[in-house]
């Protein structure tokens, strides 16, 4: 990101799927040093054809120099219990709709840091390879509306 950017609201994933089973979509905030925090995820049962579903509501700020990484794959989390279909699911034509806000006019609220934030960061922070290449790109609508 060229400046701090807040991702807010309810992200929506869409893609074409070939196969039936569960697909997990995750978003990460990745710092220049490769430190990555997973900040949103959702799993959905998919079947052949067009798939669209909402991720969890979010309010996350990507700092200047950080990257948004989106993963579409299988269940690799302990927080979801699924019944594997045993099928390979091919995903194509992915899109992710996001609501973005500039943080330029933010005013900090009074109070202390949320007590749960440090627990969350310990549980969902890891590292990503600094040379990881994406398999698809996302376009950002720069509309001012």
Residue 67: both structure tokens together: 């990257």
Order of strands across the sheet that contains 67-73: 67-73, 21-30, 35-46, 125-127
User: Is the model more confident about 140 or about 36?
Assistant: 36
What whole-number percentage of the chain has pLDDT above 70?
81
DSSP 74: S
Q: In this structure, is residue 145 part of a structural domain?
A: no
Q: In this structure, is residue 98 part of a structural domain?
A: yes
Q: In terms of residue numbers, what domain contains 51?
A: 5-105+112-127
Residue 69: both structure tokens together: 């990484």
CATH number, domain at 92? 2.60.120.260
User: Is the model more confident about 50 or about 113?
Assistant: 50
Whether this model's pTM surpasses 0.85: no
Number of domains in the chain: 1
What DSSP string describes 96-118?
EEEEEEE-TT--PPSSPPPHHHH
Q: In this structure, is residue 90 part of a structural domain?
A: yes
Residue 112: both structure tokens together: 């202390």
Q: In this structure, is residue 70 part of a structural domain?
A: yes
Dist CA 132 CA 126 (whole Å) = 14
Residue 107: both structure tokens together: 């005013």
What whole-number percentage of the chain has pLDDT above 90?
47
Dist CA 37 CA 54 (whole Å) = 20
Q: In this structure, is residue 60 part of a structural domain?
A: yes
pLDDT value for 145: 44
Q: What is the tens place of the pLDDT at every residue in 38-75? A: 999 999 989 999 999 999 999 999 999 898 999 898 77
Helix residue spans in the chain (DSSP H): 115-124
Q: In this structure, is residue 117 part of a structural domain?
A: yes
Q: In this structure, is residue 89 part of a structural domain?
A: yes
Q: In this structure, is residue 42 part of a structural domain?
A: yes
């Amino acid at each position: 990101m060229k400046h701090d950017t807040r991702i807010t609201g309810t992200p929506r994933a869409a893609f074409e799927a070939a196969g039936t089973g569960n697909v997990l979509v995750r978003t990460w905030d990745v710092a220049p040093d490769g430190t990555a925090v997973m900040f949103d995820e959702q799993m959905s049962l998919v079947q052949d054809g067009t798939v669209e579903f909402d991720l969890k509501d979010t309010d996350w700020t990507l700092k200047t120099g950080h990257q948004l990484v989106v993963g579409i794959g299988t269940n690799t989390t302990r927080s979801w219990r699924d019944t594997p279909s045993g099928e390979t699911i091919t995903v194509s034509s992915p899109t992710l709709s996001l609501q973005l806000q500039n943080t330029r006019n933010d005013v900090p609220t009074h109070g202390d840091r949320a007590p749960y934030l440090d627990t969350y960061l310990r549980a969902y922070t890891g590292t990503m390879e600094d040379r990881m290449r994406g398999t698809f790109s996302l376009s950002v609508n720069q509309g001012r509306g």
